[in-house]
Every structure is written in structure tokens, then in C-alpha cells.
Amino acid sequence: MSLDWKRQQCKASEGGPSVARAPLPTQWSSSPYAPVYAGYTGPANPQLQAYCPASASGPRPPLQAMPVGFVPGASCQGTVLTSQVPLAAPLGQPVPQVSAVNHVDVAPFCLPRAGHPSAPCSRERSLESPPAAMLSTLRRIPTRPVLAATARSFAAAKDIRHGSEARALMLEGCNRLADAVAVTMGPKGRNVVIEQSFGAPKVTKDGVTVAKSIDLKSSPMINVGAQLVKTVASKTNDVAGDGTTTATVLARAIFREGCKAVAAGMNPMDIKRGMDHAAKIVLEDLSSQATMIETPDKIKSVATIAANGDEHIGKMITEAFEKVGKDGTITVSDGKTMDHELEVVEGMQLDRGYISPYFITNVKAQKVELENPLVLIFDKKISSVQAILPLLEQVAKVQKPLLIIAEDVDGEALSMLIVNKLRGGLKVAAVKAPGFGDNRKAILQDLCVLTGAELITEELGGKLEEAQLSQLGTAKTITIDKDSTVLLDGAGEKAKIEERCEAIRDSIDASVSEYEKDKMKERLAKLGGGVAVIKVGGSSEVEVNETKDRLNDALNATKAALEGGIVPGGGTALLYATMKLEGVKLDSLDQQVGVDAIKAALKQPCIQIAQNAGEEGAVVVQTLSKEKNLSKGFNAQTGQFVDMIEAGIIDPTKVVRTALADAVSVASLMTTTEAIIAEEVEEKAAGERPLSPYQQAGMRQDGIGGF
């Protein structure tokens, strides 16, 4: 055995994280290096834990410096990563035996032995294997202690800025994000191209997509402002599904006015009170302006405006609502042709999302997507591994995805599902059953009829441990996000589905409780209405993704309009709401300045839309301010002043109100900020190489700092 081989114990894998080989030569004592390794394992986040010596009854304490060897055929306990052994075994089952030809790859670095010079690990990987006879030795090599006085902390240095300087830095970040988002606003808004870590760049006009892509990590202080405004866009998108650009423009305008007032010596807390008071008045005024929509023409107008003026998208959404109804489910997916297609299939949407994000299969969309999965429907909580394991073994044999719908899944059962999903051994997801009490049982029965499954319930003598594949249902496609689950093309018989719908109608007629009637009508709409699927076509992936962004915005805006009515679009409703603030007089001058800040900010959406159309925004606002017809506004598509309602330029009331409320909430808090604490950026000399991950982790030449 040459000295070269001994030193190769400390070499790293190509293109991946550094690793060290565990097998130990008997001549280890003459080698100047010992591998150091550490790991963590847990049910929610399985990672590498590499303490598995042959004679151990369990994992060793972390951060011990010792070489490891395996006795051939020894059984290991713990989570093991080797060239031939899986990452983890299912809970309740032993880890596969380790043979003499295996080796453990652990996340490591090289630790110099006392009396030997230090040297960095090579980036090469030795492909040479040691003789099997050398794997039977297990020793513990003491390490040089690291004194507490010299231990290096993992905490990064912090930078603190105060007063006007802090607000100016936040405003800079706010401006950078808002400038990128604002260009997408209106029918003549521009596209934004976003570089992605994989695949082609993304082209979009969706405000929240642009906002989420911005992260100014090189300037932490400035990034604080950008991230706060990003929360405005994200929250508006979560609540209303649209209006993210409006919310961003409003937040920037409110904070800018607030910074001016504070710089002039006004009290920021009183300014905030004035802002909150003004926002309350405007929100009430917007609700009073709302007009409910019923006609297809109005629905089409809302969808078209939200899709940045795309009439084809507006028409498809209108047709989809006509087919599935106001409470029906409409989804968007990739098409296989150049044109958009609308298809109505048997299906149902549940108002429950995945139990754990570890079930996600589409990381980009943050969704679980299952094709032709089996569906288990159980009316109780699943906590025990023993209860679910027999069925999982049957499912694994047929190699199909599995969706579990139960009262809940937790404890060891959830841990085992997550581990097997991450290992790739079983494509599985779990969803809590929607509803409560008798309504939950009724919904589960509806799901059984839709998917062809059998409800496994202990009330009828059913046991989960004895469940068979024949009791599971199936569907063509199931999509799950954090809030909802959509099942398409269930395997249930159409005759049984119609029979179930008829039984629900009879129950509605017989019921005397309005609450029960509403719940049964909701079930009937979901079971009998089907699901409309809009398939987006295009000549390239970039085009399809851009269209999907706009279509989702239009779909969400239309749902919001059907729920809460409409107001004149193009920023007109917010502009005319300033008239309600004209007569507002507060006792404190500082609070009055807060009201004036809201008045100035409410004009910005209209100004931005006009500017994106190549017009002078201030002139447009001044012209509209003289109008007595509160429905009149600026049509950026034609460049004319028209009646916005008659022209079909309308916004959902819920979207406008949500955008304003979220913008005021965050911007007013930013106005009251007096200090920022962020990580300090270390300036590197010209030509200096960045720190390696190990150096950033606080590693020292003589050990691990901070331990």
C-alpha cells in the first residue's frame, strides 16, 4: 500500500460536495490526515448521518473525528449513504447490510493530524478501492482541542443604519423593484425577461412573477426595501389573484410620500395614523362603487383587461364559466397544439392542499402532479406505520403513484411517506379530508363515487391494515398545491355520479337548514359541474409560459369580479376616490400629512398606465380631475377618454381593495422605520477569490471553529 493511496482517502467527488471515504487502511496511523464528518437526520428533512461503525448500537455523537471501517456483513443502524446502500430505509425496517465492497461517502473536510502540516483536500476523486482486508479496523483518533477563546462564531457581522439614511436605503430597494414591475402595467405594458438558473429565460408581464424574481443580495440594506414591497405583491396575489402591479405601484408611492414627510420633521407615527384613516375611507368608497356582474359580456371584459387586453383569453374564460358555472372549477395546463383549447372533464376540486411540501413533484410550480394515481380514501387519522405499511407494499409492487385522503396523516406514518418519496421509492402525497363532521363523510362518499374507490371506515368494519388495491380508486390527473386539490377524469361510472347528484338534489329539497342547503349545493356544483381545463398552446415553451401567467391572472380576476363586483378600470376608481378625502380634516397636522400622502399615491396607477402608453400621466390625471362623470377614464389602448364601464374597461372591486389595503399596511410600517439591521458585506480586494463553503462555515486549519 503506497502513501499516495492513503492520502486519497481525503479526496472529493467530481462536480459535487466534498466527500471522504470511510474505509480505513491498517497503516492509518502513519497518514497525516483523518477524515472529519458530520450529519443530521430527521423525519421531516432526511440528510446524511454517517456514523455507522460495525459494532455500534446507534449513531455516534456528531462532530467526532475518527476513521470508520466496516466488518463485512455487519448490520448498521441509522441513515447510511453508500455506493450500494440506499439513502434511508423505511421506518420500522432494518437498513440493508453493508458488504466489504461498499464505502460510505460523508460530507467532510480534511483535518490535519497533530505534528503534520495542513493541506487542502484535492478536488479529484480516487476510483481506486482498498483491499477488503483493510475494512475490519476501527480506531478513534483524538483531535487537537479547539479553545473557546479561539473558536470562530458562525454568526455573520451585522451592519446598522439609522434614521433618514435607513429609509433612503429602503426607498432605493423599493424603487428598483417597483421600476421593474411597473413597466408591465396596462394594455401597453412591456414584457420583462427573467434569467433562470435552468432552462431558457422567462418572458412575462405578470407583476408578481417579476417581483418574486428580484433579490438584491449584493446590497442587503437596499434589499430590505425590495423584500418588503415584494410581500405586498405576494399577499395581494394570494388573496385576490391579481392586482400585484397596482399594489406595488401604490406601496412605492405611499412610502415615497412618507419619506418626504418624515424628512421634513413630521412624526412618523402620526403620519401612519393619518394613512390608516384615509385608507379606511377609500376602501369603504370602493365598496360603494362596486357593481355586480352577471352577463357574459361583463365577464369577458374583466378577463380581457386582466389578460393585458388579450380578447382571445377573455373569450375562453367566459366560455369556461358558462360551462361549469360561477362556482365551477377551471384549471390551466399546457396544450399540445399551437392553439388554445377548452375541455370540460369529470372532476372535483377540494379546498385542501398537500400536508407536507416534501410531496411536491414540480418544484418550479410548487405543486404535486400525479398521473394515473391510485386514491386511498380513509375517514380516520393515520399515525401508525404498521397501519399503512401493508398497503404501501402493494402499491409499490404495481409501481403507481398514490394519493391518500384521510382525516389527517401525521407521526411515524407521515415520516415514512416523506422518506420514501424523497428516496424515489414511492411517488406519494397526502391530503386532509375537507369539511367537518357529517359534511366530511358526505364529501368522502362523493370522492369515492367520482374515483371508483371504496370508503374505508371503521364504522363498517373496515381496517386500513387489511385494505386491498381493489378498494382504491383512480383518476387520470391529480394536481395539488398548498391550498387546493383538483382531481380530473375519475374512474367512477357516469351513471353512479349522476345518481349521486340526484340524491344530493333530493336532500336539498328535503332540508330545512339553510346552512346544510348551502353545503349540499356546494357539493353538487363540485361533483356535477365538472372541471373546465384550458390548454394553452404556443410555438415555444417561453410563449406558453407567458400566456399561462396572463391567463391565470385573468382567471383569478374574473373569480374576484363574480364574488365582489366591479369598478371602473384603468386606475379610475382610485383616482376618483381622492375626492372622498378632500373634506377630511384631522386635528394633527402630521396626521393630515398622512392623508395627503394617500391622496397623492392614489393617482399613481392612472399615471403609470398612461406613461406606459406613451402619454403624459400628469396631464391625463389633471384632465380626469375636472370630470363629473365618475365612470369616465383614459383608454390607454386607444388614447381616448371614454366611459370605462361602457367600454368594458373594468377592474374587480376585490382586487383594487386588496391592492390598496396591502400597500398601505406595508408602506406605512416602512415609514415608521428608524433603524435597519442587515448582514455586513465584506469588500474583497481585486483578484481575491471568494471563500469556499467550508471557510464560510467557520472552519479552521486546526479543527472546526465554534464547537
Rounded CA-CA distance 613/655 in Å is 22
What is the CATH number that goes with domain 159-291+566-679? 1.10.560.10
Quick check: pTM over 0.75?
no
C-alpha cell at position 60? 455516534
**Of 280, 268, 272, 278, the residue nearest 583 (C-alpha):** 278
Which stretches within 311-406 are classed as H helix? 311-324, 385-398
DSSP 704: E
DSSP 455: -
Rounded CA-CA distance 281/279 in Å is 5
| Sign of the four-CA dihedral 248, 249, 252, 255 | negative
**Of 182, 180, 309, the residue nearest 610 (C-alpha):** 182
3-state secondary structure of 675: strand
Residue burial 402-438, b: 16+ Cβ < 10 Å; e: rest? bbbbbebbeebbbbbbbbbbeeebbbbbbbbbbbeee
C-alpha cell at position 126? 480516487
Rounded CA-CA distance 232/253 in Å is 13
Please state the CATH superfamily assignment of the domain spanning residues 347-492 in this structure: GroEL (3.50.7.10)
Residue 534's beta-bridge partner residues?
332, 342
At residue 512, the pLDDT reads 80
> Distances from the Cα of 146 to the Cαs of 38, 141, 700, 703, in angstroms?
17, 15, 9, 7
Q: Could you tell me the end-to-end alpha-carbon distance of the chain, in angstroms, rounded to an integer?
A: 35
**Of 188, 184, 239, the residue nearest 213 (C-alpha):** 184
Question: Beta strands 368-371 and 473-480: pairing type?
Answer: antiparallel
Task: Please tell me the number of Cα atoms within 13 Å of 510 on its side-chain side.
Answer: 6
296-346+537-564: CATH class: alpha beta
Which contacts (CB < 8 Å, 24+ apart) does range 207-212 have?
207/181, 207/233, 207/244, 207/245, 207/248, 208/233, 208/234, 208/236, 208/237, 208/244, 209/549, 210/180, 210/181, 210/184, 211/177, 211/180, 211/181, 211/244, 211/248
Cβ 499 vs Cβ 450: under 8 Å = no
Q: What is the mean pLDDT of each run of 10 residues along the chain (707 residues)?
A: 32 33 36 33 35 36 33 32 33 39 34 37 34 28 39 65 92 94 91 86 88 88 92 87 89 94 92 94 91 85 84 88 78 83 81 92 89 92 90 90 92 90 87 88 91 88 88 92 88 88 88 83 78 84 84 86 88 91 87 93 94 91 87 90 88 92 93 90 56 43 37
Rounded CA-CA distance 39/48 in Å is 5
At residue 363, the pLDDT reads 87
At residue 66, the pLDDT reads 32
Domain boundaries, the chain: 1-144, 159-291+566-679, 296-346+537-564, 347-492
Task: Please tell me the number of Cα atoms within 13 Å of 629 on its side-chain side.
Answer: 11
Rounded CA-CA distance 282/289 in Å is 11
